[in-house]
Amino acid sequence: MRFLRTVLCCVLLSGLVSAQAATPTAWANDPQVESKIDALLKQMTLDEKVGQLITYSQGAPTGPGTGRSDYKDMVAQGKLGSIFNLTGANQTNEMQKIAVEKSRLHIPLLFGLDVIHGFRTEFPVPLAMSATWDPAIVEQAAHVAAKEASHAGVRWAYSPMVDIARDARWGRIVEGAGEDPYLGSAMAAAYVRGYQGAQLGGPESIASCSKHFVGYGAAEAGRDYNAAEIPVRLLRQVYLPPFQATVDAGGATFMSAFEALNEVPASANAMTLTQVLRKEWGFKGFVVSDWNSIGELIPQGVAANHAAAAAKAFLAGVDMDMESNAYGPHLADLVKSGVVPQAAVDESVRRILRVKFALGLFDHPYADGKGSNAIAPEDAELARKVAEESFVLLKNDGGLLPLNASGRTIALIGPLADDARQMLGSWGAKGEAKDVVTLRSALTKQVEAAQGHVIYAKGSDILTMSDKGFSDAVGAAKKSDIVVLALGEDAEWMTGEAGSRANLDLPGNQQQLLEALVAAGKPVVLLVFSGRPLVLNWAAQHVPAIMEVWFPGVQAGPAVTNLLLGTSSPSGRLTVSFPRAVGQEPLYYDHLNTGRPADGADLSRPPKNSGEKYLSRYIDVPNSALYPFGYGLTYSATTYSPTSVGVANLSAKDLNAGTARLTVSAEVKNTGSRAVDEVVQLYIRQTGTSIVRPVRELKGFRRVGLAPGASQKVEFTLGRDELKFWNLDMKDVVEPAQLTVWVAPDSTGGKPAQVAIGQ
């Protein structure tokens, strides 16, 4: 009997363990790992502990370096636990061998890298990936990155960047999922699932790093590294949710941001790093600083020297120092002098070792270097598919697209038509220009296969003001039936870190090139390669077809060509608002209503009376976006029925208790002649609430495939999670309200329905 009970108990227990292993956060709660860590902590000297709390870069690609590059001695002495920017099985294994064989306690190294939108197989930049509105495909892309990185020894991606960005001037808007917290959360979780796989210890899993915690995307005036002022309610409502989504998805690490958040540097901010992240969300992984962000507490003015900076950052909750050289020289002294408790150091070491154990590094420290020489064909195929889903058709007058190439001459013009390196976007990791198929090469091949002809002319540079190439370009246009124009930004210089811009026009003299080509009289298709929304007013008025293609990655050419020629249909939707003028920034769809809304104000003449004048508006541009959040055309046409709701009345009490939910639906019909992937979106607005709520908020979305003529009822449910908000009393609850819901093709469309939420 006792034997039976024991067997039964073991069976149940193992059931429990495997059920636990299946949860995304299982790695954080393994008692066996915790006791191994206890044993290690007992043996570690204070210096060895501090060694686990620092990471150094091989080289200094993104900041002032420490001037070091050879870390072998430190590793052998157990004084360095992690290295980044070192990749490749041979290189990482060589260093790992020192850690595992020569260091006293054989603790393996963790190798990190900015794997942002791919490792070798570069996918479209993250802003483009978000425009797919397809978390499943983003997860697949992240998994490919994890696979490639892990074989090269990199088990830690400094990604996803989940900063909400509402200001297109900020260069790093390209690295995130745009302006919306709901979509941003879905994308954030998708990256974590893709990187970390079913189990962090899987051979092709890598640890994610949610960054930059928090508020970095709200940099004042869009200038990188600038301070951010975010009222606490807004922080909780908009900026924190994507980070929390990564904790819920089991994300193993976080990176603290550079900026001063509400006057307290994000890398010394106990409220966010300890109160919110650890106490409220229960995060069990570790926090690394951003590059030198601990050292930057000195110019920010809250620390007199590196020792003081180390104390502030550490006590606020930053476990690991990236490149500040603050913890290395000072943390042990701070412990000895009693400024930093020994127990706190032990806890931080525990968090880091926990992640190393979870990754299986103690058992499998070495990389196998598999597949390092080339991109696998199926991964290239996925990169093409993601790119195709990410393109947003902004305008298509007269159905100019898709093009019929048969027997026709196409002038392909522009500095981005044949520039392989640009296609990799910012943070290209180990992407190689030679892997990129450019638009010129893919389009020429496909058009020639259709007995057509492509004439290529570069026309201009991206950045210079030279017009030397204009006459060739205009000549090519005149000889052709149609012009395909590839214009946009310089990926490396104008997008990503330190890529803030005060102007959002086409750079260099590309606008002049565009105007010269439109004047040549042939129909123009404008392809915009950019890492942010640009101001496209002139093009919107004078160019019949415009498609935003971002920086599409290694399969840029085939993906763009497939859309141009109609092999595939556009299905991407904007995740950032495209302004009419820089002066509208920050511009985002989920703004609050004023007491004097000015929708539809007539700007063609001065106001006739004070009722027309004293409105919340600009006198020179409409308030609205040129192309709004959620917007994107297809090659077909879709209609939406009025939104319908399951019930007209609900109670806040039931919603809060989780016992009530609301179904919302609409019939979506493809009335055109081509198949579409329609991104059906659900928006809400709540009025009569204790605080002002946004004019619209995204609370659901679904990609729906519709054959020509087909229609589908698309249904969503709204419950506590979607309807709650941080109210006047700073409680995260559903309040009695008048609820308006829209099932819509974008943030401005749809036919609303009303629901009363009573007590």
Interface with ligand BGC, residue 63, by CB under 6 A: yes
Which of 239, 291, 314, 589 contacts ligand BGC by CB under 6 A? 291
Nearer to ligand BGC among residue 320 and residue 412 (C-beta) = 320
Residues 6+ apart with CB under 8 A from 561: 439, 442, 443, 446, 567
Strands (E), 14-113: 54-57, 82-84, 110-113
| Nearest residue (CB) to ligand BGC, 119 versus 456 | 119
Instruction: Determine which helix (DSSP H) or strand (DSSP E) holds 443, and give its type and residue range.
Output: helix 439-449
Sole binder of ligand BGC in the list 211, 351, 395, 580 (CB under 6 A): 211
Q: Which is nearer to ligand BGC, 163 or 746 (CB)?
A: 163
Provide the CB-side half-sphere exposure for 281 (13 A, CA).
27
What DSSP letter does each residue of 104-146 carry, written as one string?
Answer: TT-PPPEEEE--SS-SSS--S-HHHHHTTT-HHHHHHHHHHHH
Q: How far is the CB of 65 from ligand BGC (least distance, A)?
A: 11
Closest CA to 677 of 707, 653, 698: 707
Q: Measured between alpha carbons, how far is 716 from 702 in angstroms, rounded to an integer?
A: 9
Assess 195 for contact with ligand BGC (CB under 6 A): no
DSSP secondary structure code for residue 447 in this structure: H
Amino acid type, 589: Y
Q: Is 114 in the site for ligand BGC (CB under 6 A)?
A: yes
CB of 490 to ligand BGC, least distance (A): 19
Site string for ligand BGC, 490-509 (x = CB under 6 A): -------x------------
Note whether 313 and 323 are within 8 A (CB): no
- Minimum distance from residue 59 beta carbon to ligand BGC (Å): 10
Residue 158 binds ligand BGC, judged by CB under 6 A: yes
Outline where DSSP puts E strands in 573-687. Answer: 638-640, 644-645, 649-651, 662-670, 676-687
Would the CA dihedral through 424, 426, 431, 433 be positive or negative? positive
Read off φ and ψ for residue 682, nearest 5 degrees.
-115, 125
d(CA 612, CA 617): 10
Q: Is 296 in the site for ligand BGC (CB under 6 A)?
A: no
> CB of 123: closest distance to ligand BGC in angstroms?
17
CB of 158 to ligand BGC, least distance (A): 4
Cis before 214? omega within 30: yes
Give the one residue of 17, 41, 62, 591 binding ligand BGC; rule: CB under 6 A: 62
| Of residues 211 and 385, the one with the C-beta less far from ligand BGC | 211
Tell me the per-residue interface mask from 249 to 288 with ligand BGC, x by CB under 6 A, - otherwise: ----------------------------------------
Provide the minimum distance between the beta carbon of 327 and ligand BGC in the complex, in angstroms, as a whole number: 16
| Min CB(135)–ligand BGC separation in Å | 22
Instruction: Please tell me the count of residues contacting ligand BGC according to CB under 6 A.
Output: 8
Please choose, from the candidates 190, 118, 180, the residue with its C-alpha nearest in 3D space to the C-alpha of residue 149: 118
Instruction: Characterize 102-124 residue by residue with b for buried, 16 or more Cβ atoms within 10 angstroms of its Cβ, and e for exposed.
Output: ebeeebbbbbbbbbbbbbbbbbb
- What's the min distance (Å) between Cβ of 174 and ligand BGC? 12
Q: Considering beta carbons, is residue 171 or 201 the nearer one to ligand BGC?
A: 171
254 DSSP β-pair partners: 210, 287
Nearest distance, CB of residue 159 and ligand BGC, angstroms: 8
Which residues within the stretch 652-691 sit at the binding site for ligand BGC (CB under 6 A)? none
Structure tokens at 744: 């819509």
Strand, coil or helix: 236? helix
State the amino acid at position 556 in one-letter form.
A
- Of 292 and 561, nearer to ligand BGC (C-beta) is 292
Paired sense of beta strands 662-670 and 638-640, if any? antiparallel
How far is residue 681's CA from residue 696's CA, in Å, rounded to a whole number? Answer: 11
- Active-site annotation holds for 461: no
Asked if 290 touches ligand BGC (CB under 6 A), the answer is: yes
- Copy the structure tokens of residue 482: 């149609």
Beta strands in 568-648 (DSSP E): 638-640, 644-645
Asked whether position 529 contacts ligand BGC by CB under 6 A, the answer is no
Q: Is 428 in the site for ligand BGC (CB under 6 A)?
A: no
Q: For residue 458, state whether it binds ligand BGC (rule: CB under 6 A).
A: no
261: CB partners within 8 A, 6+ apart? 214, 215, 227, 228, 230, 235, 269, 272
Nearest-CB residue to ligand BGC? 158
Which residues are bridge partners to 526 per DSSP? 485, 546
Instruction: Return the number of the residue (151 or 211) whose C-beta is nearest ligand BGC.
Output: 211
CB of 274 to ligand BGC, least distance (A): 21
Residue 739 pairs in a beta bridge with: 686, 755
- 161 or 587: CB nearest ligand BGC: 161
Reply yes or no: is the peptide bond before residue 586 cis, omega within 30 of 0: yes
Q: Least separation, in Å, of the C-beta of 211 and ligand BGC?
A: 6
Q: Is 228 or 741 the residue whose CB approaches ligand BGC more closely?
A: 228
Residue with smaller CB distance to ligand BGC, 82 or 446: 82
Token pair 């200001």 is at which residue?
A: 167
- Marked catalytic residue, from 30, 290, 461, 677: 290
508: region left, alpha or beta (phi > 0 left; psi from -120 to 50 alpha)? left
Nearer to ligand BGC, 66 or 727 (CB): 66
Cβ neighbors of 519 (< 8 A, separation 6 or more) are: none
Active site residues: 290
Q: Catalog residues that contact ligand BGC under the rule CB under 6 A.
A: 62-63, 114, 158, 211, 290-291, 497
